């Protein structure tokens, strides 16, 4: 029988009203009040309990080094992303609503740019004139998923896949893979 590290996490939640000039300052004031024990949470504020395998567990740590597991997680996240409500997306992308508002106020008026990822085959020296386009992708995660799915066709080991993720290319093969990223402005096509 194996031994596993399990985390039991209880969540307490209390809504307070704070007057401030900005959301960030309101959060800071709430933190100050909490640290001064002016805001106290008790068992009456319990909103949920989560019981799960610890990220420190040896089985999970082994899976973290598995590039196929990482690609599986990335693909699942991309698949489920459209189903997340805006609050969940804010939590994932910014950590909190006040961070989202702050960044929006700083950068929200700038044109939205998107990255496009081009995956090529190339020779041993990665020469540009040897590059042949395999396909364009909208994210690194989709490139990684493609590379992992086609690892046999390109004769890639786990080391090759890890090297590709770290360096955007493979090496040591007659035919290598290389990924290039370009920032595009979707608004340019509308003009």
Give the pLDDT confidence of 98-157 residue by residue, as tens digits: 888 988 888 877 776 789 999 999 999 999 999 999 999 988 888 998 999 999 999 999
pLDDT at 72: 86
pLDDT at 44: 95
Residue 190 pLDDT > 70: no
The secondary structure of 83-146 as a DSSP string is: GS-HHHHHHHHHSSHHHHHHHHHHHTTSPP-EEEEEEEEE-TT--GGG-EEEEEESSHHHHHHH
- Cα–Cα distance for residue pair 176/191, rounded to 1 Å: 38
Could you state, in order of their start, the residue ranges of all structural domains in the chain? Answer: 1-64, 114-190
DSSP state of 15: -
pLDDT at 186: 65
pTM, whole model, 2 decimals?
0.54
Q: Which two tokens stand for residue 66?
A: 């598995």
134: which residues sit within 8 A by CB, 6+ positions away? 119, 120, 121, 146, 177
- Cα–Cα distance for residue pair 175/153, rounded to 1 Å: 11
Residue 89 pLDDT > 60: yes
Residue 191 pLDDT > 60: no
Band of the pLDDT at 189, cuts 50, 70, 90? low
CA distances from residue 165 to 3, 73, 79, 151 in whole angstroms, order as listed? 32, 15, 20, 13
Instruction: Give tens-digit pLDDT for 16-75.
Output: 999 999 888 999 999 999 999 999 999 999 999 999 999 999 999 988 888 788 888 888
What is the average pLDDT across 161-173?
Answer: 93
- Cα–Cα distance for residue pair 150/181, rounded to 1 Å: 20
Residue 175 pLDDT > 90: yes
What is the average pLDDT across 158-182?
Answer: 93
pLDDT at 122: 94
pLDDT at 180: 96
pLDDT at 187: 65
């Amino acid at each position: 029988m194996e031994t596993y590290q399990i985390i039991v996490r209880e969540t307490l939640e209390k809504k307070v009203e704070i007057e401030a000039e900005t959301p960030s300052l309101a959060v800071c004031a709430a933190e100050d009040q909490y640290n001064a024990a002016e805001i106290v949470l008790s068992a009456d504020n319990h909103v949920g309990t989560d019981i799960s395998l610890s990220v420190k567990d040896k089985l999970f740590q082994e899976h973290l080094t598995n590039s196929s597991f990482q690609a599986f997680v990335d693909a699942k996240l991309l698949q489920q992303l459209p189903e997340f409500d805006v609050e969940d997306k804010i939590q994932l992308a910014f950590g909190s609503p006040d961070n989202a508002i702050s960044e929006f106020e700083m950068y929200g008026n700038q044109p939205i740019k998107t990255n496009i990822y081009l995956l090529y085959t190339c020779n041993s020296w990665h020469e540009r004139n040897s590059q042949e386009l395999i396909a364009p992708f909208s994210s690194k995660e989709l490139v990684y998923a493609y590379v992992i799915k086609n690892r046999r066709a390109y004769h890639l080991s786990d080391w090759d896949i890890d090297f590709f993720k770290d360096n955007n290319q493979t090496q040591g093969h007659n035919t290598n893979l290389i990924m290039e990223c370009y920032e595009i402005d979707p608004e340019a096509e509308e003009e």
